[in-house]
Amino acid sequence: MELRQLASFLAVVEEGQFARAAARLFLSPPAVTGHIQRLERELGVQLLERSPIALTPAGERLVPHARTMLAAANAATDAVADLRTDDDVPLRIGVMAPGSAELTPVILRAFRRTHPNIPLTVENLSFAEHTTALTEHKVDLAFVRPRPDDERLTVDVLTTEPRVLIVPSSGPGGDADALRLSDVLDLAFVSLPQGVPRVFTDYLYFASARNGVPPRRGIDEAATIQDVLTSVSAGRGTGAALHSFSRLYRWPGIRFVPVVDAPWAQSVLASRRDDIRPQVRAFRLLATTLAHDLGPRLASASEAARAFPPLEP
């Protein structure tokens, strides 16, 4: 999928004719036709009825995504107008899995498409690297949760979500449709390694509802979400997460149960406050634009995949 294909598609939709769309784009009608045909072949669906011009159901679904993609690309291009194209230093992106749910891969793919001259690398982050990955210059931007409270960092909020408890299917809370904070505070939670910042431990253990009483700790220590899921599925502890986790993880022996009265929490894109490089600004701008415009529509991972299929090798 190329930006010029999306531009031709939107021009035909808005002008209602191939000829007028071609004139608007300073292209020939056959070129516009070719763009749309290639787009339809890549997506495997028909987007437009030709006589008369009308959107198919697939075309209607693509329109808002196409507009968002073009708007984000234009905004990001403006942000890096002064960026040297011969700079081959990678932009290092940290992800505390799964980042900001379905938005994470969408943002990475969109940036690769709109800024192919800026190489990206992606680093997996542990809970202990919630802030240090940035402050120690391991990465340049990081998808983390919850919002860091380090004054050296700046954050862009990408999602704000309810909380869920991660429990063994056959353990306490495993048969509940919903829980309250009063139901969960006495459970044994997974332990966290030394070095995990206070803001993260407070988030995991629902500290705002504990009145200073420390949580019970389970047998296992968890440094990543995979560690949490493994421990919980073995019945050795309890975890907590954002609501989007229940869409993204299918793990034997666990359930995600809403905690209905817990404060909502955020996933964010964090960066160093003093890092004013154009490529960092461009990534932030693209991420926040897509989060604002696409976030409500990306609750379905399959919809995200249809809207932004992976790049071909």
Residues 254-272 pLDDT 10s: 999 999 999 999 999 999 9
What does the pLDDT read at residue 203?
Answer: 96
What does the pLDDT read at residue 307?
Answer: 42
With a pLDDT cut of 90, the percent of the chain lying above it is: 55
Closest CA to 18 of 32, 35, 38: 32
From 1.20.59.10, 3.40.50.920, 2.40.50.140, 1.10.10.10, which CATH number describes the 3-79 domain?
1.10.10.10
Residue 26 pLDDT > 50? yes
The tens digit of pLDDT for each residue in 78-104 reads 776 655 544 568 999 999 999 999 999
Question: pTM (2 decimals)?
Answer: 0.72
CB 29 within 8 A of CB 37: no
Domains 3-79 and 163-263 alike in fold: no
Residue 123 pLDDT > 80? yes
The tens digit of pLDDT for each residue in 134-164 reads 999 999 999 999 999 999 999 999 999 999 9
Top-tier CATH class for 91-159+266-307: alpha beta
Closest CA to 211 of 246, 185, 191, 249: 185
Closest CA to 159 of 141, 142, 145, 176: 145
- Summary mean pLDDT of the chain: 87
What does the pLDDT read at residue 303?
Answer: 43
**Residue 150 forms beta bridges with which residues?**
none
* Mean pLDDT, rounded, for 41-53: 88
The tens digit of pLDDT for each residue in 289-300 reads 888 877 666 554
Question: Could you tell me which residue, 4 or 300, shows the higher pLDDT?
Answer: 4
Measured in degrees and rounded to the nearest 5, phi and psi for residue 55 equal -75, 135
Residue 227 banded pLDDT, cuts 50, 70, 90: very high
State how beta strands 141-144 and 91-95 pair.
Answer: parallel
CB 8 within 8 A of CB 25: yes
CATH 3.30.500.10 fits 163-263, yes or no: no
Closest CA to 270 of 56, 99, 84, 57: 99
From the DSSP assignment, how many helices (H) and strands (E) are in the chain? 12, 12
Residue 310 pLDDT > 60? no
**Residue 216 forms beta bridges with which residues?**
188
Q: Hey, what are 24's tokens? A: 């608007």
Under 8 Å CB-to-CB from 184, ≥6 apart: which residues?
A: 165, 173, 206, 238, 240, 259
Boundaries of every domain in the chain: 3-79, 91-159+266-307, 163-263
